[in-house]
Structure 1
């Protein structure tokens, strides 16, 4: 797999080449289909999932039966590390957004790897800290900014991390429903629809079947009020 497909912020992207090769050798390589559940919320399981060539979404069940989208994870990321390390039930469901290749690494093997490669253990701690920081910032966004700005921030992050540049603009085709996008923005679906409509009317984005095209990235970044 090409290194460019493992972004620097992901777990694999943070590791030195030899350490990365050793980790890939530890796990069992598996192919999964689109919409296949990789980790199920509440399950008592003891393995880590390393995303080799993959795109997945992380969701949690709500009391009203809906599912809230917490995050998107890509090639190079790990998921399920907390439950694997402390033996607690899974706190979220992880589902493949497209046909993907993953590595299943069982708890004992993962712990042994971290003992043998302390720099990798530090990177796991760093990833957990980054995710906590991201969650805290997102909660601040929910209380401090209107839906239009929150939506612009989420779309900007998705476009930068997962977008494909095309003649039409930057295409984000990770097949998110409006309900999932609304929960990621911390907004009611009707409020999200209004904000999406405003961005479309301004010519900043286009929307299609589970696809968003960012046509004017600078305008989107300006609305997002990012430094």
Structure 2
């Protein structure tokens, strides 16, 4: 992705001033990664930040029962691993590429120097961390107030709105997510998730395939999600 490319709204690169963005894209080492390659591994003690230049990744964490919870999805323009790098603590999650991607590896010392020299970028990092905390709090509220069908619809809508592409079939989300990962994201048992997802499929609202999800009726999905 070129340095002057339009970055997805809300991502780290999109929030930076153009001159600051150019400086950041000159820091670190650019690398290519393959689909399904692990970029960061939970528990690892590492001191670098990853900038996603042209990438789609999923963030997961291991549960005590052996399953893996899907925590979030990150796209081109996002940064990952910043908390562990800045605090010098072990990684709290595993990050896996969902497609062939280009990333930039920035050592902690380089990133700290960049933030010192660019205070606007430091404020942007703080804002992104705050946004992620708000998202986590909203998810906990959803778990408390809404049944699984509504929680699932909300998760599918958020993913489609943020990462989907339009096609004649609807909003296509080319992200390979297991039902186990979807279940943990919705706070449900896998068997319950399967039933709720089957209902949405039978109603023609969504369809699923090996490599992703298609939202066929976005208005119906918003209605099920109880979104104004």
TM-score, normalised with respect to structure 1: 0.97
Q: Structure 1 regions of 5+ residues with no counterpart?
A: none
1:221 corresponding residue in structure 2? 222
Indicate conservation of the 8 Å contact 1:169/1:216, yes or no.
Answer: yes
Q: How does 1:175-190 map to 2 (within 5 A)?
A: 175-190=176-191
1:168 corresponding residue in structure 2? 169
1:88 corresponding residue in structure 2? 89
Distance in 1 separating the partners of 2:66 and 2:6: 35
Distance in 2 separating the partners of 1:195 and 1:102: 36
- Count of aligned residue pairs for this structure pair: 227
Indicate conservation of the 8 Å contact 2:6/2:14, yes or no.
Answer: no
1:97 corresponding residue in structure 2? 98
2:75 corresponding residue in structure 1? 74
Report the CA distance between 1:120 and its aligned residue: 0.4
2:10 corresponding residue in structure 1? 9
Distance in 1 separating the partners of 2:203 and 2:118: 51
Distance in 2 separating the partners of 1:100 and 1:5: 17
Runs of at least 4 residues off by over 2 Å: 1-5
Indicate conservation of the 8 Å contact 2:58/2:98, yes or no.
Answer: yes
Indicate conservation of the 8 Å contact 1:171/1:213, yes or no.
Answer: yes
1:201 corresponding residue in structure 2? 202
Report the CA distance between 1:210 and its aligned residue: 3.3
Question: Any idea what SS the aligned residue of 1:152 has?
Answer: helix
Distance in 1 separating the partners of 2:216 and 2:92: 36
Q: How does 1:99-178 map to 2 (within 5 A)?
A: 99-178=100-179
Question: Any idea what SS the aligned residue of 1:70 has?
Answer: strand
Distance in 2 separating the partners of 1:129 and 1:34: 29
Q: What value does the CA root-mean-square deviation take over the aligned residues?
A: 1.1
